[in-house]
Structure formats: structure tokens, C-alpha cells
A = this chain, B = another copy of it.
Amino acid sequence: MGMIGGGPGAFIGEVHRMAARLDGKIELVCGAFSSDPKKSIKFGKELFLNPSRVYDSYEQMINEEAKLGEGERMDFVSIVTPNHLHFEPSKLALNKGFHVVCDKPVTFTLAEAKQLKKISSRKKLIFAVTHNYTGYPMIKEAKSIVASNKLGRIRRAIVEYPQGWLSKRLEQTGQKQASWRTDPNKSGLAGCMGDIGTHAENLLEYLTGLKIKKLCADLNTFVKGRSLDDDGAVLLELENGAKAILMATQIAVGEENNLRIRVYGEKGSVDWSQENNNSLILRMEGRPKQILRTGTGELHKSTMLATRLPAGHPEGFIEAFANIYQNVALTIDSLNQNKKPKQTHLDFPTIDDGIRGMQFIQKVVASNLSKSKWTKF
């Protein structure tokens, strides 16, 4: 794997590296970590990389790696730059024949995302997008429970993603994470809804297996002087007529990263929260609440594949993230061997999820400006 972005001070770059490392199936072999070549070289050294494979720019990296022999060159590129710098490296990598793992939201505009879909399809290359929350084992369990129709027809869902870190104008302190996320030139049409709202949207559609059909959004910018939304609530209708609420906010003082999803069907419901990520609450009508736990028996195959440890040994964010990388690696491995990838290995978010995310951003922004209640998705 080669990495673009993720140099010193970046948060998500190191997460990608830890996730890639964890299972011993992926080796970071090259990188272009910073727009400043000196920083990139220094950083590559810290990562014990061969200096000849630490590049000045992503163009150089992709072009040079493409010249290396099979088995020697990187197998795929991991792109962990801010949103506005996803498209160009992704496009070049695909065009040079490299699979891509890209952070979310996948691009700056919807049109770009669609273009990446076209290229990756034509080139038959993997394009994974790290909507990492779908990597949690108990999310997979919840998805399988819904898919099995155990809960009956889904009626009501609530997905919420409250954070508090942008409750003040942190971007003015020079904090890197805050700066680009609140800058329309780097983040895109939306702030909070792009950054975490898309995670919530992706989780909702992944878990329920239902697409959003229409929505009604109310976005807010509570912190004065900020250009993009830092809070929002959305009413949604899903394709089977189910209704959902999606809330994403970054001004909820005291909240850390409190993603939670609840889904109620005719016969039962599930409730999952990142703060208790190794548990899934299952409630069947007329029966006591059950707490399903990772590492215990009788869970779905996909859940068990996404779990490394016996019950009671907590796994977390990095492990869930690593589940995305692991499946990507196993899929690429199959492709490299001209084998058909296993269905279970294909369980990772792709450019299609990326496109849904970009559409979601577009639609919530449009709905927010509209006086009509419902905006079709």
C-alpha cells in the first residue's frame, strides 16, 4: 500500500496506517505524505520506509510506482487528504491501474464521484471508501438481523452523530482538523453534514438495507462567523415507507463521538452505540431485552469474521477500521490471483457508497434552502 496525505499532525492518516497494519496482511511500502517534500521525506523515515519510495508528490508516487514490477510496486493507494484533494489522486491512481482506498466524503462534488465510479468500473479496479463505522462487528450483526427479517418490516429508525468539538470557533486557533472541515473550499457544500452526516447516512442505509427516498433537512450554523453548517436534523423516508431521523451535530458540548443507531421493526428492534461498540441491544416483542456481545456464540458469520478476540476483550475503532482494510486486502488478493472474491470479503463500502454520500450532501443542502417539506432523493 502507498499513502497519499496523512503526514505529521494529521489524525486520520495514522488511523489508516494502524488499521492497515493490524492484521499483518498489508504493508505500507511508499508514500507522499505532505505537499511539502521535506516533510514527506522526514515522515517516511519515521515510518521506516525505504527513502527511495517516499515521494515529493502524489503524481510522482503514482507514476514511479507504476513503473515498478508486479509484486514490487504498491498494490493499492490509500488517500487520506482533505476532501478537495481526493479526486485528482484517485483519478490518476485508477488511470495508472491502482486500486484505491479513499477517505470520505469521497470527493468535492458529486460529478467527480460519478467520474471515479466510471473509471473504476471500466478499469475493473477496487474503489473503497472508508465509511469505517460499517466495519464494527455488531453493526454487521444488526444488518444481518434486519436482513433475516427477524424484526419484520422496518418502521422507524433514528441515527444520531453528536460531537462537541466545534462548539467554539476552533478553526481560528489554527487547529488543522477544524480548519479544513469548516472551509467551503476544502470541505465542499456541507460542513457537519459532509463530515459526519454522511457517516450517519451510510450507516442507516447499510444497516437497514433501505435507500433514502425523500428528506426534509434543517441545517444550522450556530457558531458565528462560520461558513458551513455545524449542526443539522433531517427527517427521512426510506424506500419501504419507513421513517427515520438523522441528526448530526458538532456543537453538542460534552459529546465526544457518540454515533448511535436504533431501528424498530414490526416485531423487534436493535440499538447500537459506538460508546458500547461490542454490544448490540436486541429487543423482540414480549421478550426481555437481550445484549448480544462480540466474541460470543450464535452470531452471524460476517460478525464473527470481523471480530478478533473472545468475548469480553474489548475491540474498538481501529479494529473496525481494520475490518475495512482487511476485506479490501483479501479482495485485492483474490483479484491478483484471478480468483473471484468471496462475498464476505466484498463487505466494504465502495464508490457507490461514496456517490450516495455526495448525493446526500447535495440533497440536505437543497432541502435546507427549500420551503417545501420534502425533497426527493
Contact = CB atoms under 8 A, between A and B. Distances in A.
B257 A313 contact: yes
Interface string A10-37: 0100110110011110001000000000
B256 A293 contact: yes
Interface of A: 11, 14-15, 17-18, 21-24, 28, 47-48, 151, 155-156, 158, 160, 162-165, 167-168, 216, 218, 220, 222, 231, 233, 235, 243, 245, 247, 249, 251-258, 262, 264-269, 271, 274-275, 277-278, 282-286, 288-293, 295-298, 308-319, 370-374
A275 B289 CA distance: 14
A161 B302 CA distance: 30
A231 B154 CA distance: 13
Contacts of A24: 17-18, 21, 28, 47-48
Nearest to A251: B155
A267 B253 contact: yes
A295 to B, nearest CB: 7
A315 B312 contact: no
A309 B274 CA distance: 14
A156 B275 contact: no
A253 B371 contact: no
A53 B174 CA distance: 49
Contact of A316 (B14, B297, B319): B319
Contacts of A11: 310
Contacts of A256: 293, 295-296, 310-313
B243 A231 contact: yes
A254 B235 contact: no
B317 A258 contact: no
20 contacts: A14-B308, A155-B231, A155-B251, A168-B285, A252-B262, A253-B268, A253-B283, A253-B285, A256-B295, A256-B296, A257-B312, A274-B312, A274-B314, A277-B314, A289-B290, A290-B291, A309-B318, A314-B317, A315-B316, A315-B318
Contact of A373 (B293, B311, B370): B370
A167 B295 contact: no
Nearest to A160: B158
Contacts of A297: 286
Nearest to A285: B253
A238 to B, nearest CB: 12
Contacts of A254: 264, 268-269, 271, 283-285, 289
A312 B163 contact: yes
Contacts of A243: 218, 220, 231, 233
A29 B290 CA distance: 44
Contacts of A163: 312
Given A292-B288, A297-B286, A372-B372, A308 B18 contact: yes
A371 B214 CA distance: 13
Query: A251, A266, A285, A312 — which one has the most chain B CB atoms within 10 A of its CB?
Result: A312
Contacts of A284: 253-254
A365 to B, nearest CB: 14
Given A24-B17, A24-B48, A218-B235, A249 B156 contact: yes
8 pairs of A and B residues whose beta carbons are closest in the complex: A254-B283, A256-B312, A257-B312, A314-B316, A256-B311, A313-B317, A288-B290, A289-B291
